[in-house]
Chain A
Amino acid sequence: MKKTYDRKVFKRKLLLNRRAVTVTIRLFMILLLGFPLLTRAGTVDSTRMENREVRGKVVDEKKLPIPGVSVRLGGTSMGTATDVDGKFKLLVPADTATLVVSFIGMKTEVVKIPRWKAGVEQGELTIVLREEDVKLEDVVVTGIFTRRKESFTGSASTYSAAELKTMGTQNILQSLKTLDPAFAILEDNQFGSDPNRLPNMEIRGKSSMLGLRDELDADPNQPLFILDGFESTLAAINDLDINRVASITILKDAASTAIYGSKAANGVIVVETVKPEAGKLQVSYTGNMNLSMPDLSSYNLMNSREKLEFERLAGRYEPASWSTTNEVELNRLYNEKLKVIASGVDTYWLAEPLRVGVNQKHSLYVQGGEGNFLFGLGAGYNGVSGVMEKSDRDVISGNIDLIYRMSKFQFSNKFSLTSTDYRNPIVAFSEYAAANPYYKKRNETGTVEKWLENNNFFKAANPLWNASQNSRDEGKNLALTNYFMAEYFPTVEWRMRARLGLTHGNDDTEKFYSRNDTRFENMETIKKGEYRSSNTRTNQMEGELSVTYAKVLGKHRINLVVGGNVSSNKSLTQGYSAVGFPDGDFSYPSFSNGYPENGTPTYYESVSRSINGYFNTGYSFDDRYLMDFSLRTSGSSVFGTSRKYNTTWSVGVGWNLHKETFIMDHVGWIDLLKLRASISNPGNQSFDSAQSLLTYSFQYGSMNYFGLGAVLAQIGNPDLEWQITVDKNIGLDVTLFNKRFSLTVDYYYKVTDPLLIKVSTPLSSGTGTYMTNAGEQVSQGLTASVTYYIFQNFEERFSWMIRANVRTQKTRIDKIGNQLSTLNASGKGSNTVRYYDGADPDDIWAVKSAGIDPSNGKELFYAKDGSYTYDFSYDDEVICGNTRPDVEGVIGSSLNWKGFSVSLNFRYQMGKDVFNEALYSKVENISRSDLNKNQDKRALYERWQEEGDIVRFKNIASAETTPMSSRFVQEENVLTLESVYLGYEFYDGWIKKLGLSSLKFQVSMRDVFRASTIRSERGISYPFARSMEAGLSFNF
C-alpha cells in the first residue's frame, strides 16, 4: 500500500544522506528545532576564488517560509541554516553541484544548483519541503507521550498495520505474536480455537502466579491494554478490526511502562487507531473471506475393532462378581458388538460436530475534510464461524472520528460501537471423542437415539442427542466507547492535553438446557430443564490532564511530561436460574416451574478506582548520551486501607555509539549502534479489589429466633502491599550495511519481592489461607530479533528479507518456606505444580519412574535416595522437567517484487517438557467406567500384557489408578508454520481507469501445519483449527 512504498523511498534517501536527521513524528516536528544541525553546519570556506553565492528560500507546501532549515553542500558537512524568513545565502565552490536541504519532520531535498552563467544575476532558488510521513519504526508511542526511538532508552517495539497484516488479518493479537518474541499467547489446550474464548497472554513471562489461579477471573499476568491513550480490555482489543489499527507498540521493560505505574508490571500494549487525514474524500474498503478447518492431527483414537479388543483385554467382559448369568450376558454383549463391527461399523465420531468455518469480514472507512475539520467514518463486520457447529461470533462495529483544529487548539473525538453476538456448542468436543466407534450414530430409521447402549452392564449416552435438543448457549455484547481529547499549543515548546474516556459495556448470556438433556436423567420431572441468565454491565471512566514540554538547547534535548489521571471501573454482574421446563420449544424462563431450590440470584459488584500523578523526563546530550526518568504515584482502591498509595520510578540510560566520531568517521557501515539499560520498580494491580477487606456473608438457611446470622466470608488483609518488581533491562540495537541488517537484543532480570500470594497459615489464625506479601520471584530472559535484507533494490522495487527472533527465560521462586504447603499438598494427585524455594514455578514435579517391570507389569519408582521401590510416595517427588520451552521463536522470510509480496513464518519451540495428559488419562488410568469411552491407540498396543513385555505402560488388565510419575513427562519440540502470506498490489495503470487509487489482493494462512515430537491430544473441549484467508482491499 501507500505507506510501504513511502518507506522504501525513504530508505533510499537515507542511503544518500546518512547524516540527515532522522524523522520524528508530527507532534514533535513543530516542537523541535534543528539546532544541532545548525551548530554543526560550520562556516563556509570563502577563500576560494571560484566560489559564488547562491541565495534561496525554503518554504513549506503552503508557501510559508521555514526558519532554521539546514542547507549543506552536497558531499560535505559545510553549510548554513535559513533565517526567520526562510532565506539563506551560501558561498558554493564551483565543483559543487547539489545542495542538501533538510529539516526535522520534513523530507530531505537534494537540489541541483543551476549552472553558473556569467553576467546573469543569479535568481533566488525556491525550495519546497514537504512533510515527512511518520515512520512508525522510528518512534515510540507510549500512549501518554511519543518519543523518537533513537533517543529512547526503554525496550519497546512498534509495528505498523501493514506489518501486522502480513502475519494474517483475522486477529491483531495473533499477528503480534508472530512479530514480537517477547509477546506470547499461551496455547489453550482445553479450548483450542474456540472463537469465544479470550486468549491468555504474557509479555516476558509471568510476573505473579502463586496460589492465585483459582481465585481470579482476571489473569494476573495479563498485559495492560491502551487504546488511543485509554485503558482498554483484552476483549475490546481482541475484537478490534485490524483495518482500524494504525500501529501497535509493545512496551516491554519497566522503563517504558513505568509511566503506567502499578498496572504495568506485565507490560503494556499500546494500540493507536487510524486518524482521518486531510484531503478529498477517500474511501477504503477491505474484504476478507476466511476458511477455518479443524486440525485433528493430534488425536490418536482407536477404531472399532481396536477398541473392542482393548475392552476384552482390559477385562470388560469378565463379570466383576462372577455368576453364570452375568458371564453369559456379557459374552452375548461382546459377541453382539463383534457382529456389528464385522458388518462394517466404525464410526468416526470426531467429525460429527465439526465443519469448515466460512467467515466473512468487511471493513469500510470514509475519511475527508478540509482545513479545520476532519472526519472519518468506519463500519465493519466480522462473522466468525468456529470449526464446531453452533459456534459463532459475529462482530459488528462502527466508529466516528472527528478532529477540529484551530490555531492553538485541537479537539478530537473518537466514538466507537461494537456489538457482538456469540453462540457456543452445547456438547463439548471431548464427548464426541469419548464415544465408542462401534456404535452407530443413528438407528435404522435414521433418528438419533438418546442412548448408544443402555443395559444392566453398560450405559453410553449419544452425544448427538444432547446436541440435537433445543438447548442453547448464547450471548450478546455491546461496547460503547467515547474518547475525547483537547490539546492546546500555546508555544512550540509547550503542549497541554486533556482527555476524557468513557466506556460502557453490556454483556448478556443465556443458557438453556432442554429437559431431555441426559444431565437431567435422574432428576424429578418438575426440575428437568434449566435456564440460566446472566448480565454484566461495566462502566469505565478515565480523565487525564497532561503538560508536555520539549526543547532543544544547543546539544541538549529536553522532553518533559507532567500529568495526572483519575479512573473508575465498575462492573456489576447479575444472574438467576430457573428450572423445570415443559417439553417442546418452550425455552424461556416464563415457561419454567420456578427457581431452583436454595438458588439465590447472583449479584457481584466490583468497583476499582485509581488516581495517579506522573512525571517523565527525557534528556539527551548531542543525541549521544540519553537519559529517561519516570515517576508515578498511584493511589488505588485495590489495596488495604493502610496502603493506598504507591510510587513507581524508572531510570534509563542509553548511548548512541554510532553518533560518536570514532564510529561516524571510521566505520561507515554502522548505521545504528545503541546500548541502553534501565531499571525500575513497576507494580501489579490485577488483583481482586476486595482482597484487603474483611467481608461477611449471611448464613442463609440458618434463620433462628434472632434472625439471620453472618460470618466472615473473606478474611482480607488490610496491610496488603503492592507487589513490587524490580525490573532491570539491558538492550542493544544495531543496524548495519545501509540498514540491510538490524538486530535488537534485550536481556531482563526481574525480581518481584514481595509477591502477593495466598499463603497457608496455621489454622489457629482463624483461616487456612491468607493473602499476604511474601516470597520472591526472580525471572530472567533474553529476547532477540534480527532481520537481514538479502537483496534490496529500490529501483526495481525488489527486496528479499529474512527474519528470526528468539526468546528464552527462566524463573525461580524463593523465600516461600513452607507457606504454600497446603497448596502443594492439594496439588498432589491432581497436578504437577509445586512451589518450593529455589525451584521454577513452571517445573514439573513428579516421582521418578524406572519404568514398567517386565516381569509383572507394575511400575517401579525411584525413591529419593535413588533406590528402586514399588511403593509410590509423594515424598519422592523431584523435578522432572519444565513446561517452558528452552528456546522459542519465529523464523521467517518475505519477498517483495514490484507489487508482489510473499512471506512465510515458522515458529520453533525447543526443550519444553509436558505432562502428557493423553498418556496419563487415555492410555493409563482407564478406570472400569472409562472403558465406556474411546481411548488412545497406545492403550491397546503399548501396555504390558504378559511376562517379558518390555513396554512403557502398565498392565492392560489393571484398572487401578496410576499416580503421576515421570513416565508421563515428555520433552516436546514443535515446529509450526504459523503464517503464510501472499499479496499483490496494483499501483497505477488500469486501476486508475476504474477510479481506484490502490487495489490489493491477499491470501494468508495461519497455523498451516504443526509438527511435534510427542503425541498428545490438543483441543480437548474444542479442536484447534487451521485457517486460510483471502482478502481484497481498495481505496478510491
Chain B
Amino acid sequence: MKLKDIILFGVILTGVAGCSDFLDVQPKDKQSEKQLFATRGGFYTAVNGIYNKMASPALYGKNLSYELVDVISKRYLPLQVSTYLTALSGFDYTNSLVETELSNTWTAAYNTILNCNVVLENIDESVGVLPGQESRVLKGEMLAVRAFLHFDMLRLFGPVYKLDPKAESVPYNESSKVMALPLLAADSVIHEKVLRDLDEAESLLADSDPVVTDGPMASLEDEQDVYLRYRQLRMNYYAVLALKARVYLYAGERGKALEAAHKLLADAKVDEHFPAVDPNKLLANQSNPDRVFSTEVLTGIYKKDRKDIYTGYFDSEQAGNNYLHPRKDFVNTDLFAGETQDYRFQTWWQVASGVGESGHVFIKYKGIDKPSGNTEAEYFYAVFMSLIRLSEAYYIAAESEPVLADKYEWLNRMRTRRGLPVLEVVSEEDFMKRLRMEYLREFLGEGQIFYLYKRLFSNINDDENGYDTSTYGAKEERYVLPLPSGEIANR
C-alpha cells in the first residue's frame, strides 16, 4: 500500500511539474503580447498602432499641433464662448477643462511610450521573427519615437531649460513594466536619455533605413510590401538627424546642433529625397494644392480626417465655438508685413468670407479634392501632417552658426524656397527677429512655436501676437505647464 502511495505522489508531482504549459493560458479573444509578436506582421501592426496613437487628438492629431500648444503661444484669438480655449489663451492651466486636456496629452504620450517599450522588448526577445535589417529599422524607429515623445513632454511640462537646466522635469520611461518613475533633472533627461536613444536610433537606422537609398516612397504599387514604404510616416533616419539638431538647440548646445543640422543639410540625398515645394503646382492650383508642403516633411502623421480639422476649427462658417483665427489684420500687417508674395501667405491664408467676419482664415488643413484619375500617391498629402520638416534644420543651422553672414545665408536659402527675396546681413538682432518671424510663418498649426518662445524664454511681442496687440512677457508660469494631478497625486 505504501508503494502505491508513493507512486501516486510521484504521479501528482510530475503532473504538477510538467504542467506548466497546461497552466499557460493565452486568451483567444484578445491579442496577447505573445501571439502578436509571433509574426512579422504582428510587429508592424503594433508599430502601426503606435504611430496611430501619435496621430490621436490628445497628441499630434490636435493638442500638440494646431490647437492646445498653438493657443498658448498666442497664435489665435479664440471666441469668448469657448471657455476652454479662452482659458488656454489666458495661460490658465488650473482651469479644469485645461487640466483634463493636459492630462489627456500626458497620459497618451506615456501610454504610447509604454507601447514602444513593449515593442522594443519584443524585438530583443524574439530573434528570427523579423529579418535583421527590419529589426534594426523598427528598433531605431521605436527608440526615436520614445525620445521624440519624451522630449516634447519635457518641452511642454519641463522647466525653462535656459534658466535652470538642473530643474526637475519629467520621468523617462524605458521599461515595459508598469512602475512609478522619478522626475529627472531636465539636463539629464536630454543628455542621458533622449540623446542616448537618438544616438542609438541613428546608428541603427543609418545602415538599415531604406529611406537613405530609396527616399520617402510615398506611394504603393500593387504587389509591393508596404511595411518599409511611406517612410515619411515613420521616424526615419533623416527625421532622427533633424530631431537631434532640435534637441541640441533646445539644450543651448549650438555647436552640436549645427553639427547635426549640417549632417542633414550637407547630404546631397536629402535634397533629392525631400525636394522643395514646387510653386508651379502650388500657387495656381485651387483644387488640390499640397498645402503642407509634404515633400519637405521629414516625418509626419497620417490623419485620415485631416479636412475635419479645417471645418472643426478654422472654417469661420462651420467651426462654431471652436473657431480659431488670429486677430484681424495680424496676418497681412504683422505676420507677412510687406512680404505677401510668400508662398505660405498665398496658400495658407484666405480672407474670411463669413457674415460679420474679418481678417484671415487659416486653410493649411483645408480639404482638397482628390486629383481625378491620378494615382494615389499624389493624394498622400491630403492626409498628412508634419511633425518635423526640413526647413527647421535650415533654421537650426542658421541660429547655430557662429558667424552672422552664415546665419543669414541659411535663412536666405529657406526664404528663397518660399518665394522671398534674399536678406541683407544687418545685425544679430535683425537676424533673430527675422528668424522668429520665419518660425511663426512656417510652423503655424504644427505646434513648434510655443517651444521657440520657451527655449528663448522671450516675450511674445505685440507684432508676433495673434491674440491681441499687447506684448506678453516671458514668465515661467506661462511657459512651464503644471504636471497633471494624476502624475503627482499617485506618487
Contacts and interface: CB of A to CB of B under 8 A. Distances in A.
A491 interface: yes
Contacts of A545: 8, 11-12
B52 interface: yes
Interface stretch (A143-151, A711-719, A895-903): A711-719
Given A705-B233, A767-B111, A767-B114, A761 B30 contact: no
Interface in A704-727: 704-715, 717-719
A756 to B, nearest CB: 15
A494 interface: yes
B51 interface: yes
Nearest to A602: B29
A995 interface: no
Contacts of B46: 696, 709-711
Interface stretch (A4-12, A633-641, A676-684, A792-800): A633-641
Contacts of A760: 486, 489-490
Interface stretch (A417-425, A603-611, A880-888, A956-964): A603-611
Contact of B32 (A563, A644, A693, A767): A693
B148 interface: no
A697 interface: yes
Contact of A694 (B25, B33, B49, B110): B33
Interface string B1-34: 1001100110111011001101111111111110
B180 interface: yes
A491 B487 CA distance: 68
Interface in B290-349: 302, 304
A547 interface: yes
A545 B11 CA distance: 10
Given A607-B27, A766-B111, A707 B53 contact: no
Contact of A695 (B30, B114, B176): B30
Given A613-B12, A711-B49, A763-B107, A818 B178 contact: no
Question: What range describes how many residues of B lie at the interface?
Answer: 35 or more
Give the one of A604, A606, A694 with max B CB within 10 A: A694
Contacts of B117: 766
B230 interface: yes
A869 B15 CA distance: 67
B104 to A, nearest CB: 10
A690 interface: yes
Given A607-B27, A636-B23, A712-B118, A490 B1 contact: yes
B490 A819 contact: yes
B127 interface: no
A491 B2 CA distance: 13
Contact of B181 (A490, A636, A765, A819): A765
A605 B9 CA distance: 34
Contact of B230 (A706, A710, A764): A706
B226 interface: yes
A645 B13 CA distance: 13
A603 B36 contact: no
Nearest to B230: A705
A608 B178 contact: no
A604 B15 contact: no
Give the one of B4, B23, B180 with max A CB within 10 A: B23
Give the one of B13, B26, B30, B488 with max A CB within 10 A: B30
Contacts of B171: 762, 764
B178 A761 contact: yes
Given A611-B15, A764-B170, A764-B171, A562 B30 contact: no
Contacts of B44: 706-707
A710 B122 CA distance: 15
A644 to B, nearest CB: 5
B467 interface: no
A637 B20 CA distance: 9
Contacts of A764: 106, 110, 170-171, 173, 181, 487
A715 B114 contact: yes
A702 B52 contact: yes
Give the one of A606, A711, A767 with max B CB within 10 A: A711
Nearest to A688: B27
B45 interface: yes
A712 B490 contact: no
Interface string A600-644: 000111111111010000000000000000000101110001001
A693 B24 CA distance: 11
A494 to B, nearest CB: 6
B374 to A, nearest CB: 17
B262 interface: no
A566 interface: yes
Contact of B52 (A696, A699, A759): A699
A689 B114 contact: no
Contacts of B1: 490-491, 494
Contact of B489 (A693, A713, A767, A822): A822
B490 A761 contact: yes
A609 B21 CA distance: 10
A225 interface: no
Nearest to A610: B23
If over half of A's interface residues share one DSSP class (helix, strand or loop), that class is named, otherwise mixed; here it is: strand
Given A545-B8, A764-B487, A696 B27 contact: no
Contacts, number: 210
Nearest to A717: B178
A506 interface: no
Contacts of B9: 562
B432 interface: no
Nearest to A718: B177
B48 interface: yes
Given A696-B30, A767-B178, A637 B25 contact: yes
A705 B226 contact: yes
B135 interface: no
B48 A763 contact: no
A564 interface: yes
Nearest to A719: B177
A947 to B, nearest CB: 35
B73 interface: no
A708 B25 contact: no
A711 B50 contact: yes
Contacts of A690: 27, 30, 32
B103 interface: yes
Interface in B191-239: 220, 226-227, 229-230, 233
Contacts of A708: 45, 48
A825 B484 CA distance: 14
Nearest to B31: A696
B385 interface: no
A695 B31 contact: yes
A349 interface: no
Contacts of B4: 496, 547
A768 interface: yes
B180 A608 contact: no
A770 interface: yes
Contacts of B412: none
A958 B11 CA distance: 74
A698 interface: yes
Interface in B103-126: 103, 106-107, 110-111, 113-115, 117-118
Contact of A696 (B49, B110, B302, B488): B49
Interface string B30-68: 111100100000101110111111000000000000000
B484 to A, nearest CB: 6
A635 B490 contact: no
Q: Which 5 A-B residue pairs are closest in the complex by CB-CB distance?
A: A766-B114, A709-B49, A709-B48, A564-B12, A637-B25
Given A712-B114, A765-B110, 19 more contacts: A566-B19, A613-B16, A637-B23, A689-B27, A693-B26, A696-B32, A697-B30, A699-B52, A705-B302, A706-B226, A706-B230, A710-B36, A760-B486, A764-B487, A766-B113, A766-B114, A766-B115, A818-B491, A825-B489
13 contacts: A494-B1, A547-B4, A562-B9, A604-B29, A613-B16, A633-B16, A705-B220, A707-B226, A710-B42, A711-B49, A712-B111, A712-B118, A768-B107
